[in-house]
Amino acid sequence: MVTRIAIFFFICSLSVNAQENDGYTLKRKIPLETQSFKIDLFGNIYFTRGNTLVKYNLEKDEKIEYTNTFLGEVSNYDVSNPLKILLFYQDYNQLVFLDNQLSEIRSPVRIDDLGISYSTGICTSHQGGFWIINTREAKLQRYDENLTKQQETGFHDFLTNKKDVLLVEKNKMLYCYLSGQLYSFDIFGNLDRHYPLKNVNNIQIINKNIYYFYEHSLYRYNLENNKEEKLTLPSRDEWNFVQIVEKNKYYLLKGQTLYIFHKKSHL
């Protein structure tokens, strides 16, 4: 009789878990000593630790690292092009370009040599080169691979903000998040829109949606109809960080453990 009761409660618990996971299937769980991370097109995980960038290859279950002891801590990095990773060292105002083995492609670039004395953010440009915030002049500027300036925005006072900066080029648009506000520009540097998203973090642009993480919850803002919705995450745990890969993979961090889920429905 006791055995039957135990089996009954076990079956009920399975049903509850299946309902809570809402179509998510846990594929892997690994220790990850970081509070945030990024994922490239091949599913490799990146995170920083002081002056070190760590790349974790899930398929081979191996890590490689790049450390530069002369440039201080890594302020920002962009892995959207996994063959040309971009690192930004704000304290020394320099950029470093790495290949997929985290070896330097060229000598570090001194931003001062471009006439930019101070910057708060950078990102890779898929037109070639990179975008950078010229904070002193309150402009966004794009430089090609030969370090020649190709485009720049007009003066925008909000570009002088220095907190919580995120810059990303996606779908032929440039998205700029500063001090709790999100703006978009076209690839020629013209201001496009200001989005009503405040005090959020971990923004991702996928298809025609902005995904962002706020107070342990994931939200989606549709760029076409301007509608916002809260998404259901697997289980009721308070996740600390979330990243999404376009093939329906969700990477969720809790404490120092990374959980990788697959979801049936498409983004």
What is the residue type of 228? Answer: E
Mean pLDDT of 133-153: 95
Q: Return the pLDDT at 207.
A: 86
Q: Return the pLDDT at 213.
A: 86
Percent of the chain with pLDDT over 70: 89
Averaged pLDDT score across all residues of the chain: 87
Q: Return the pLDDT at 8.
A: 39
Residue 143 lies in a domain: no
Q: Which two tokens stand for residue 11?
A: 């079956």
Rounded Cα gap, residues 74 and 20, in angstroms: 38
Residue 259 lies in a domain: yes
Residue 209 lies in a domain: yes
Residue 231 lies in a domain: yes
> Does residue 12 carry a pLDDT above 60?
no
Percent of the chain with pLDDT over 90: 65
Q: What domain range includes position 242? A: 204-267
Number of domains in the chain: 1
Residue 135 lies in a domain: no
Confidence at 18, pLDDT banded by 50, 70, 90: very low
Residue 60 lies in a domain: no
Residue 78 lies in a domain: no
Residue 256 lies in a domain: yes
Say which residues have a Cβ less than 8 Å from residue 93's Cβ, sequence separation at least 6.
Answer: 110, 111, 112, 116, 117, 118, 119
Q: What is the pLDDT of residues 70-81, one digit of tens each?
A: 999 999 999 999
Confidence at 196, pLDDT banded by 50, 70, 90: confident
CA 218 from chain center: how many Å?
A: 14
Q: What global pTM score does this model have?
A: 0.86
Question: If you count them, how many residues does the chain have?
Answer: 267
